[in-house]
Every structure is written in structure tokens, then in C-alpha cells.
Structure 1
């Protein structure tokens, strides 16, 4: 089948010209308003009338009036065209400054430890942007689902995505409550997990996640079993705190319960490293200002946090003066 490389005339062709002539009741004044010649105006109206199949104007040497068809067309076309112009202005505004709805898909566990302060500071800096957070573990097609960007661990981000680092790499830790460990003992090696109740994660593709470990720089995976299957880390963490079994979770979300003594880490020397959390989005081209502002805000916060960590480390390592 032969392809047609020309764009067919659309229903809106000539409408702006028609509305200008109808408003001024003059082809010449419409030409001045639109910055074209009167003959171009006449030609556009003739094409529009041919396409519609009805005369829209009554023309004499002294005046221009609307036919009944022209009156009806004008009454419907004018508000519709004004709405299109307004829609264009709204879209143009969103393309020129950070404004509108910014939709982010994020894991539920990320919200309290990573996003709370970040989103608060971003909303203060950009009051014309509304932020919507869809908290779930499912890996989705951002464009198809209408999201501007997502946040995930680096190993789960497709290679064709653009990724911006949010956190340094972190460990996956295996933890259990003091009560559970008192009852069941501490595993010494990953293979000991066959004798333990392990809380498991079901991935968005339906598969049960294996537990990963690092044994002398050799990556190993262990299939575990236990009383609970969850689809997010907070649920697993809560069950571990209640003594239901061991859980393997990102260290940042387990840090507070471990510090409070609610959880104890086991198999420390086998803890594997994860790449960290990243903001990701589909393309570097045609980024809306609202997303560009969020990316820049993330980078600025990350740089500020890194500098603060460097200052803290330098202060700790500075030798004390002897009295």
C-alpha cells in the first residue's frame, strides 16, 4: 500500500479566518488582524465553505453578513475555538515554567525514609507544582501509566531509562527480633536458613524473591521458606519486629528498628551490597519544566548532603589538641 506523505486538511483549517471575518464583518479588517492579504482571506473562506458544503457569508460591495449556516457555525465554532486557544495557553505555560501535576511511582518503603523531607522542600520551592505519589512495589511502564518519573533500586531500572542517584549504595541486611533469635538461635551461614522461618517477598512479576548473599566476593542466592509472603519491605519488617521470623531488607529501612533494639542483624559478613535508590524517567528530550525542576532539586539536595557528610567526617577525623 502506497504511503501518503501529505497531511490531510483538518476540520479546524480556516476556522480562525472565519471567526475573524465574522467578528469584523470585513475581509479586509480580518486580513489586517491576521497579517495576511485580503485575497488569502478570501481563498481560505472559499476552501472552508467547500469543505463544509454550505455558504457561510453573504457578500455585497458594501457589506459582509452571515448566512443561516454561517450563524449556526459561528455560534458553535467561537466557544470551541476559544477553548482550544485557552488549552494552548495552559500547555504553553506548563512548557515554560514548573507548574502542574508531577506524578511519581515509588516503593512504599521509600516514602518515610527518603521522600518526606525532599517533597516538602520541593513543594515549598515550587508552589505551582502539585506532587502525586503512587506508593506501590509494582514495576510499571511510566509513559503508559501517565507518570513523569519513578523511584526504584538501581538493579530494577531498565537500561533505556535515565537514572539520577538518590542514595549511596547500601547493604541488604538479614534481621530478626531478640525474641525470635532467643527461641530459634542465630544462623551462622546462609545455608543455616533452612532451619529458620524466613519472611519472603513476592515480586511484581509473581515470582518469590530469593535471598542474596556475598560469600567471599561470590554472589549466592538461597531459596527460603516461612510463614509470611509480602509484596513490600515495610510489611516484612513489621512481621520481623513481631517475631514471626527473619527478614532480608534494605539497611536504611531497618536502621531505626535496629538502633532501638527491636531488631538484631545476623549473617553480617554475608550482607550483599545494592546499587542504591535512583530517580528514573524515560528520556532526556522534551522534559517538562516541572520534572526538570524536581531533578535539579534532587541533585542539589544530594550535593548538599554529600558536602555535609564530608564536613562531618573531617571533623571526626581531626586530631584533638592536647591540653
Structure 2
């Protein structure tokens, strides 16, 4: 028995006191309306409607059940309204996972602009310091390095790729000298990301496309790029860091890029937006996905280019669609 439909049939019978009118209102046959009421009474083991030659009337139990049915169906309608609104109007709490290193340096402007555009959404942000199962942990969307998460049926949208560069502080280089080729690093103190974040060795490619591999024997290994940057700024040694983490440091001279003619091939950082591949994606998730992709498209140069250090504030997608217009 479809109990919700049986309740609707019973309510219509009670309101019209007619099987025929109730059936017509619901688009079913008289026999079907009678069958639903019979099934409901059998299920409850009590008579809800008196039938006699003078017409229909509710029993005492029928009056009680009618009130309960109306309350149940009204509540279901309210729930469905809320859910349907959530599929069209972004609202509610959005659980966001983000790579800790990137978030500490660059994510705040994106979140600020998103909340300004979608004030009915609340963000619950978790910074990832280790690998997580994205779906099991209940996240709606993530801005992460793909190796930070796992989970079946995930959609991945690339946001930007940041090249790794070797850097050191001027103070460290003044004391230890400036390496000009990868082999020189054997005489230097090295700082590195842990194997969970990095492949272990540094692989340099020279301008003539010859590969040089440096096997790390690091004095400090850390699982967070922001902490590694701080150690490098303190003059503890040479590190390979994502360029966007040290743009300002390179611009103000706090750090110096070494061996700029060599490209490091095995430490590229691809930042991606991920979310579960579900048949129905909530409006809050869809709005964040679309907003983030446009935000990164608008701000990619600022996030990854030395040319933009200290020059331009973050732009929102709305700002980029209206050149020359001052943001409100």
C-alpha cells in the first residue's frame, strides 16, 4: 500500500463525503478510491468512514486520523518546499575542503567574494594537512591538490598549475654561496616537503633538456608549504616551493630564486576543484563550483605571475564582467 497516497485519498473522501468527487479530484477511479480506503482501514484495524444509504460520515477514529493525516502531509509539503528551494536558490551550509598551504595564502578573497554574492550560504571550511576520503568525510566541494583526496565518482576541474622553483634567503646564500647547477646542492642544506606532498627527489631539466636528479638528504622535512616557506625565510637552507607561495618574497627581496634556468619537473602543483559526481547537485554546490572556476580564471595571472606582485587586488568574477566599474 502507498500509505501517503492512501492518506490523500482519505482526506479527499473526508472533505467531500463522496468517493466519486474524491476520485475525480485525484484523477483515479471510484474503485481505486474505495480500495485505498479499505487498505487503510485494514492496516489500522479500525473503521474510519461509516457507509450507509444516507451517505458517508467519519467515525471518531476517522476524525482523529484525519487531523493527523493533514499534519503529516502539511509537514511533507513544507519539507519538499525547502528541498526544492535548495535546488534552485543557493542556501544552507556548504562544506569546503581546501589545501592548507594554498588556503593560508590565497583563498580568503575568493571566500569573501562568494559570500558577498551568495549571502544565504554558510561556509564550513576544513584545511587539509593530510590525505582524506572526500565523500566519506562529507565534503561538498574541495579546492585541493588532487593527491590530497580520494573517493570514487569525483569530478575534477583544473583551476591552475603552479611551477616549483628553488629559493633561499639572501642571508643563507651570503654564507654558503649561490649554487649554479644541481650538483652544487650537495654542499648545501636542503629543506623539503614530506613524501606525502612531494615525490622525494628534485628533478632539474637544464636549458639543453638534460635531466639532473638530486636525491634529497634534507635537514628539515615538513608536510606544509607555508611552514617550509617560513623556514626558508629564516635562512635555514634551500627549498623548492610553489612559485605562488613566494611571489611577494621574491618581489621584496626576502627570498632569491636560484638556478632560474633549470626547470623542476616533478614538483608541479596542480590546484583542482573537486566535487562528488552525483545525479543531482545542490544549488549551493553548483554556485560555488561555477563561481570558483570563474574567479580562478579571472585571477590566474595574479596568483601565478611575478609580474603581478604587489600591484593588483583580487578581482571577483562580477568585477571582471564589468571593466572599469568600481566594485560596490
TM-score tier (shorter): 0.7 to 0.9
| Candidates 239, 245, 248, aligned match of 2:237 | 245
TM-score between the two structures when normalised by the length of structure 1: 0.74
- Following the alignment from structure 1 to structure 2, what is the Cα–Cα distance between the partners of residues 77 and 198? 72
**Equivalent residue for 2:45?**
54
SS for the counterpart of 2:96 is: strand
Matched, 1:152 2:144: yes
2:112 alignment counterpart: 120
- Flag the 1:267–1:88 CA change in 2: closer, same or farther, 3 A: same
Report which stretch shifted further, 261-270 or 72-81: 72-81
Q: How does 1:128-143 map to 2 (within 5 A)?
A: 128-143=120-135
Alpha-carbon distance, 1:72 to partner: 6.2
The alignment status of 1:164 with 2:169, answered yes or no, reads no
Aligned to 1:177, which of 156, 169, 172? 169
1:151-300 equivalence runs, <5 A = 151-153=143-145, 161-167=154-160, 169-204=161-196, 209-216=199-206, 217=209, 221-272=213-264, 274=268, 276-283=270-277, 285-300=279-294
SS at match of 2:277: coil
- Which is worse superposed, 217-226 or 287-296? 217-226
Moved more, 277-286 or 127-136: 277-286
Secondary structure, aligned partner of 2:246: helix
Shift of 1:251: 0.4
Q: Secondary structure at the match of 2:261?
A: helix
Contact 2:202 2:215 in 1 (8 A): no
SS in structure 2 opposite 1:210? coil
Residues 219 and 12 of structure 1, relative CA distance in 2, 3 Å threshold: farther
Work out the CA distance in 2 between the residues paired with 1:56 and 1:183: 96
Gaps of 5+ in 1: 1-8, 314-323
Size of the aligned set, in residue pairs, is 298
Is contact 2:191-2:220 (8 Å) kept?
yes
Mapped partners of 1:16, 1:232: distance in 2: 59
- C-alpha contact 1:211 1:222 (8 A) present in aligned 2: yes
Cα deviation, residue 249, structure 1: 1.4
Offset at 1:272?
2.1
The aligned counterpart of 2:76 is 84
2 CA distance for matches of 1:289 and 1:251?
A: 34
For 2:105 and 2:38, locate their aligned partners in 1 and report how far apart those are by CA, in whole Å. Answer: 65
TM-aligned CA distance change 1:306 to 1:250, over 3 Å: closer
SS at match of 1:182: helix
Deviates more, 1:18-27 or 1:251-260: 18-27
1:40 and 2:32 equivalent?
yes
2:28 is paired with a residue whose SS is coil
**Partner SS, residue 100 of structure 2:** coil
Give the deviation of 1:119 after TM superposition. 2.2
**Partner of 2:142: helix, strand, or coil?**
strand
Out of 57, 68, 82, which is 1:64 matched to? 57
Residues 217-261 of structure 1 show CA distances to partners (whole Å, capped at 9, x for unaligned) of: 456654423343322211111122122332221100111122222
Report the alpha carbon displacement of residue 174 of structure 1 after superposing the two structures with TM: 1.9
Structure 2 unaligned blocks of 5 or more: 309-328
SS class of match (2:253):
coil
